[in-house]
Chains A and B, each alone.
Chain A
Amino acid sequence: AQSVTQLDSHVSVSEGTPVLLRCNYSSSYSPSLFWYVQHPNKGLQLLLKYTSAATLVKGINGFEAEFKKSETSFHLTKPSAHMSDAAEYFCVVSATGGGNKLTFGTGTQLKVEL
């Protein structure tokens, strides 16, 4: 069994300040972890993925995430928020041996203010 918990349903930051979106997971297998972003009325775009290689993963648009097994966390960060980052973010886990099925977190709405 696997699950994902996104600790914040809404996060609001000022443009130019750091972004932190928190995610904790549980998995019976060695997990693969992903962050996806969804803009209104759009599908999901892959930001980055962790698949048992380097624990610090760099993604697109300046985002990165660190896999911490001891804390079962995979938090998403960005040093400086941009207005275009405002969107819904999903933390997702896929378990090896789980048939490639994804388990989604409930999402975090990121708001970026001037």
Chain B
Amino acid sequence: GAVVSQHPSWVICKSGTSVKIECRSLDFQATTMFWYRQFPKQSLMLMATSNEGSKATYEQGVEKDKFLINHASLTLSTLTVTSAHPEDSSFYICSVTTGQAAQPQHFGDGTRLSIL
């Protein structure tokens, strides 16, 4: 069964609005969650590492004020794309892990975000 639930799977919204994406760990308490962005026909690009109870760690070049991450519990992390613009349109994927070394990450089904 699914280990990770990501919602919504698909969203279309107008430019300037904010969009929240949820990532839930269903099978275990995830101390660490990751947020990725994937452009068409490309690999995944890590945006940020989300640790429960602390501030997220953003990768170089990712605007932390643009992509707000909240990891308020051991089973939920959210990514909010603030004041979204067409260039933010992409496929966003989260993953969860126990944080133990060598353990695989489990991925959500992704969110297709389209900004008009």
Q: Are A94 and B102 in contact (CB under 8 A)?
A: yes
Contact with B along A67-85 (1 / 0, CB 8 A): 0000000000000000000
Using A44-B93, A106-B43 as known contacts, say yes or no to A100 and B109 having CB atoms under 8 A apart: no
Complex interface: chain B residues within 8 A of A99 (CB): 49
Within 8 A of B (CB), among A27-83: 32, 34, 36, 41-46, 49, 51-52
Considering the chains assembled together, what is the distance between the CA atoms of A96 and B103 in angstroms? 10
A101 to chain B: closest residue by CB: B46
Check A13 for interface membership: any CB of B closer than 8 A.
Answer: no
Main SS class of interface, B: strand
A50 to chain B: closest residue by CB: B102
Q: Are B107 and A36 in contact (CB under 8 A)?
A: yes
Q: Are B93 and A43 in contact (CB under 8 A)?
A: yes
Q: Are B107 and A32 in contact (CB under 8 A)?
A: no
